[in-house]
């Protein structure tokens, strides 16, 4: 049986600090502690965020920290970051993990028909009032305000319109009504509404077909009404043209009558014009020349022609 060998004793050299070294180490440790404490009071607010300071002594401070470096009281002030960039919430049937709080909005139209709406709401927090938002709502404002209010206002807006109007001509009016109602709610809760987007509105297929047939019938009626109006306009145009033609004929007759009246008056006042007129009418067949009224005789051109041929002269007949 062998006895265990004992390990040799090793003597370590003793380190002794000089009096100056004993003073340096506490100072170094104090400096490191001070740097660490100061670093706890330096807060950096990232781009697009704001900081809300909560003091253990005074509660939420009203001053909101904007982007950049800020100094707070270490271990007393706590900075809560809020995303101030544009955000959106979508309530749709095809949303990821859609459930009762995330899925599409089911509403009823003015006549009581079921309508399903997919909606996207874009918003941001009010940077200047982020402290009030933190104090009154906290970070859970999506669940406490936005989603329930969006559902409520969409149902209210859809209930003001008929299904036919919603899916045809009044879609923008529905969006405007929802936007106005939500803007008031968001403003009261220190949020800023950017836009409301109605992604899709769905109604039962049977109702959609009935509405389409009704709209087609209304369009046909409008076409027929337009044709009737065109026919009425054509008839009115014909009446107006006939009245115009009648008035023109009347005016022409009046003009002719007035011309005859003036001509008769002129003949009465100038009897010589009668002889001139008769001569003009008979000139092609009767060769008679009317001499001036002072001569008081007519000249028979035929007799003059015969005299010229025989060489004798026939006295002209004088009128008394």
Residue 1 has pLDDT above 50, yes or no: no
Contacts of 90 (CB under 8 A, 6+ apart): 102, 118, 119, 120, 121, 199
Highest-scoring range by mean pLDDT, 29-43, 250-264, 273-287: 29-43
Q: Which residue has the higher pLDDT, 10 or 91?
A: 91
Residue 164 has pLDDT above 60, yes or no: yes
| Cβ contact 208:167 at 8 Å | yes
Residue 29 has pLDDT above 90, yes or no: no
Report residue 132 as tokens: 């009030």
Instruction: Match 């995303």 to its residue by tokens.
Output: 83
Domain boundaries, the chain: 38-85, 87-203, 205-269, 272-310
Give the domain 87-203 fold. Answer: Tetrahydropterin Synthase; Chain A (3.30.479)
Q: Provide the 3-class DSSP secondary structure of residue 169.
A: coil
Residue 43 has pLDDT above 70, yes or no: yes
Residue 306 has pLDDT above 60, yes or no: no
What is the pLDDT of the chain when averaged over all its residues? 78
| pLDDT at residue 257 in the model | 75
Instruction: Match 């939500």 to its residue by tokens.
Output: 182
| Cβ contact 202:171 at 8 Å | no
- pLDDT class for 144, splitting at 50, 70, 90? very high
- pLDDT class for 168, splitting at 50, 70, 90? confident
User: Cα separation of 14 and 295, whole Å?
Assistant: 181
| Cβ contact 180:124 at 8 Å | no
DSSP state of 112: S
| pLDDT at residue 152 in the model | 95
| pLDDT at residue 38 in the model | 81
Please name which of 179, 182, 86 lies closest in space to residue 127, comparing C-alpha atoms.
86
| pLDDT at residue 25 in the model | 76
- pLDDT class for 50, splitting at 50, 70, 90? very high
């Amino acid at each position: 049986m062998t006895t265990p060998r004992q390990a040799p004793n090793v003597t370590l050299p003793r380190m002794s600090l000089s009096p100056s070294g004993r003073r340096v180490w506490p100072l170094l440790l104090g400096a490191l502690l001070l740097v660490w404490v100061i670093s706890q009071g330096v807060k950096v607010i990232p781009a697009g965020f704001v900081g809300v300071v909560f003091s253990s002594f005074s509660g939420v401070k009203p001053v909101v920290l904007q982007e950049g470096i800020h100094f707070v009281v270490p271990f007393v002030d706590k900075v809560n970051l809020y995303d101030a960039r544009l955000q959106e919430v979508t309530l749709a049937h095809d949303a990821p993990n859609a459930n009762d709080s995330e899925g599409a909005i089911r509403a009823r139209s003015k006549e009581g028909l079921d309508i399903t709406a997919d909606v996207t709401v874009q918003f941001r927090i009010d940077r200047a009032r982020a402290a009030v938002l933190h104090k009154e709502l906290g970070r859970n404002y999506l669940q406490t305000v936005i989603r329930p209010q969006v559902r409520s206002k969409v149902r209210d807006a859809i209930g003001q319109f008929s299904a036919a109007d919603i899916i045809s001509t009044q879609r923008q009016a529905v969006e405007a009504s929802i936007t106005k109602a939500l803007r008031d709610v968001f403003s009261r809760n220190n949020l800023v509404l950017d836009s409301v987007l109605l992604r899709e509105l769905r109604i039962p297929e049977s109702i959609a077909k009935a509405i389409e047939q009704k709209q087609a019938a209304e369009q046909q009626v409008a076409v027929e009404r337009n044709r009737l109006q065109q026919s009425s306009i054509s008839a009115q145009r014909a009446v107006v043209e006939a009245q115009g033609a009648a008035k023109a004929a009347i005016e022409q007759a009046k003009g002719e009558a007035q011309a005859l009246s003036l001509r008769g008056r002129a003949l009465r006042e100038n009897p010589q014009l009668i002889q001139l007129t008769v001569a003009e009418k008979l000139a092609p067949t009767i060769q008679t020349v009317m001499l001036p009224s002072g001569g008081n005789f007519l000249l028979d051109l035929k007799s003059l022609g015969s005299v010229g041929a025989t060489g004798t002269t026939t006295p002209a007949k004088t009128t008394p």
